[in-house]
Structure 1
Amino acid sequence: MVSVTLSTSLSSSPLLPCNTQNPLQPHKPPCGHLLIPARTPISYSNASISGGLDSSHMAFPRLVSSSGRGFKSRAYIDAWAAATGGGVIAQQTPASAQRSADGDVMGLLLRQRIVFLGSNMDDFVADAIISQLLLLDAQNPNKDIRLFINCPGGSINAAMGIFDTIQLCRADVSTIAFGLAASTASIVLAGGSKGKRLAMPNTRIMMHQPLGGASGSAIDVEIQAKEIMYHKSNVTRIISERTGRSTEQVDNDMDRDRYMSPMEAVEYGLIDGVIDKESIIPLPILPETVKPTLSFAEASKDFDKFITPHIPDDEIC
């Protein structure tokens, strides 16, 4: 508990340092407070500060407890800054400045109804994506939302939250992958509105079964094992519904990491089209639907360019 004693009887000086001896009482031991106002204590309000401070007081008053540890009242500092024309003092650090810059970019994208998923999915990222989707859907449920994905995956629970929000939105959500859409990000990619799930030509898409671990007592390990098997079954069902493949095939395909090129993802049913240099879809306008197509004529010119080589399990070290 910090205590501050205010007195008006010691000196005509506005501020009297009391960790030195009082000149009126040279043998009196120093008191425990560094700063004692020499006049009637002022209220920490804008009005009293602007009326009670002149140019000779353009310094932060410091109050120190008997323990000698200094502190500054945040409300008092802000009020002081406002009274002297400085406004509220922002507590800026390099990290907060970076977040501010990122926030400005994300805000500009949000105005264009663009949501960007560009980091590992955790609860914090999922909350941000979900809130943005809900906001855009509430603003205009008749206008498309574009969700750009460049994500290595992350928490299955976070991915399920984003997936369910996409299904909840009344507006069509177009998912557009570039870079990498792996693991749980492939579920979000497949969860976009049918006909509006797209990828850039050099995107890599990967799906696999849920990963996890358990430790503790035998019963705790059993509970965690049941939970991860539930997630495996649920992911298999979702991918099966979104691609039209049987659950048995999806289960076999997800047994190991399954990497796909965009052309393979179209064939598999995870996405509906590939954006290439001949058919760039402009950002402001999206077509009503993109038919799932696979240009075998184009692929036949350089087959290895579009097909991921199959490596038998016994050849994987």
Structure 2
Amino acid sequence: MPGFNHTTENMKTKTLLGFFLLSVMAFCVSACQDDAEIILFSGSELVDETGTCTNTVSSTVLYLNGWEAENIGIANGKGGYSAQSSDETIVTATVIDNRLWLSSHGKKGKVTVTVTDKDGNYVTLPVTVSYGVLTFMCVDQPEFQVSRPSEDMLSLDSESELQEKVNVAMAPYSFINKGDICILRPDDVYHLSEEGTGGKFIYKTEDEQILVEGTYQIEWASLGGKQKKAFVFTYIDKNNVEQQHTFFNFSPYLGTQSSTRERGPITTAWLEEVSDSPYLEGVLPADRTVVYWVDTVIPSLSAEDL
């Protein structure tokens, strides 16, 4: 029987282990650096962290209300890139300086863009074209909050007896329920809350029953005696009478398109001052204010259903 050579076996084990580790490392690197694999990416350059591309793009959305075009980086492959859209009436695609340029043409739909290099390697990119919308869902039953005007705009009042009287008096006013949904379709997704901007809105129940449709506008209005930016909602009710509600929202994430597109879900409160409601006549002291407080959650900017 031949003797068992520990040295030889250890060397074999180390060699096999080393080969295995090198193979794993090569696989990890090739996941981001394989020259034959065309990679699409966002931003100005491909971000490669430990063999993993962190800013690759596998699909994208163009919005017909302010985000009608986009350009995406192309990496790897063999160069000489070209691009073709499956439906050029919806999206056209061109390649300029290793960037894929996508342009929509005012029509909703879905297309597939194929990017090919000079050797015939290719990658496909699903593209959705629609309107960008913000969908708010009421997460709690709205409340009426008694407050006092202060330097910080409003200070909630802890006077429970007055609060209870206000709750009873304003019960007929309450028109928002937990689970209700409000969808805003801004005229321009780049300017979500700038003065003078606006758009359309749909208000519906959790089971998709549409209650109200109308328009909204960003204007300055008074809250607690101070001028603040507000969303003014206007619609025609079932009695063919124009109605208007002015809600304040102070979430910083509604300020710009980019932050809202990339972040979410966001919890945010909407406040409507209702101190002048006829329901509060004889109930509310002159030095008090009442706001209708609605807590909502909003995901990132999304595409309207096709």
TM range (shorter): under 0.3
Q: Which has the higher contact order (CA 8 A, sep 6+)?
A: 2
More helix by share: 1
Greater share of residues in strand: 2
* TM-score normalised by structure 2 residue count: 0.23
Normalised to the residue count of structure 1, the TM-score between the two structures is 0.23
Find the structure with the greater CA-based Rg: 1
